[in-house]
Structure 1
Amino acid sequence: MTLKQRVSQALAPVGADRFQRSDGDIVQFRRKGAGATDFVLRHGESSQRFVAVRPANVDAAALSGYVGTYYSADLDTRITVVRQGDTLAMRQPFGVEWVLRSSFADGFNTRLRGTTTFVFERAADSQVIGFSAWVYGARNILFVKEK
């Protein structure tokens, strides 16, 4: 098995759903049914949990669902999401624009002051209703879809 985190790393089995990297770190997978739901990477006394996510759907119909204007009460600002060919971009009123790269289902990244992550939220009917932004140390900056 191979774990890819920046570079690929071989994993040697050491037990049920447990593997060891060449540096000695342990990877423990958790399952629900036939698939893994997450894994914990242990390095000495510290550990990190990684959650499995659905892959991104970037066909034209899926991308169109994100298009619209979003408002953040916390920042008192609006951001518009537009289609640019086979991708999306975010625009602010004063002309700044960031191209978004799909990372996982409803998740996008851009190079804005480092890496900024946007995770879109859906209503029960699967319509996009907003997104949360992660930038620097700020997390869950909420934007609500207006139109």
Structure 2
Amino acid sequence: MSQVYANIKAIRTEKGLKQEDVAQKMGMAQSNYARLEKGLTQATIERLEQLADIFAIPVSSILSYETGTESGNEDISYYINLCRKYEKQVDTLRKRVSELEEESLQDWGKLNDELKVAKEKNRFLADRLKEKDRTIQILEKALDALTSSKQDK
């Protein structure tokens, strides 16, 4: 595993990066990053993945790096894998958008149905109110007729 630390340093220098640059991108102090390159701090999977992203190479290339080799193919491989990863994310997002659109259409359909029911209830209540108004008018006329017939007697 000690070779990994030497690989990290070799890749960093080949990429023309300073310790400060890499440390900043990793969100750590330069002194902590220096300890990582010296093997005094453990290179966790998460750190190796961060370094792979910063160096734009796969983690496997950090582990198997050979000084003085061309990294062009590794860079291409990294970007191809990165593109595949992003394509999967885009597909996932497209599926989710489609699901949301479908749910939205279903919700609109339910709301439309509820609106139709509410309109029918409103019509029914309006008709009932008209019937009550007619009944009140009839009762008022009957009351007037009874009242006027009592007054006539």
**Scaled by the length of structure 2, what TM-score is found?**
0.22
More helix by share: 2
- Which protein shows a greater Rg? 2
**Scaled by the length of structure 1, what TM-score is found?**
0.22
Return the structure number with greater relative CO, CA threshold 8 A, min gap 6.
2
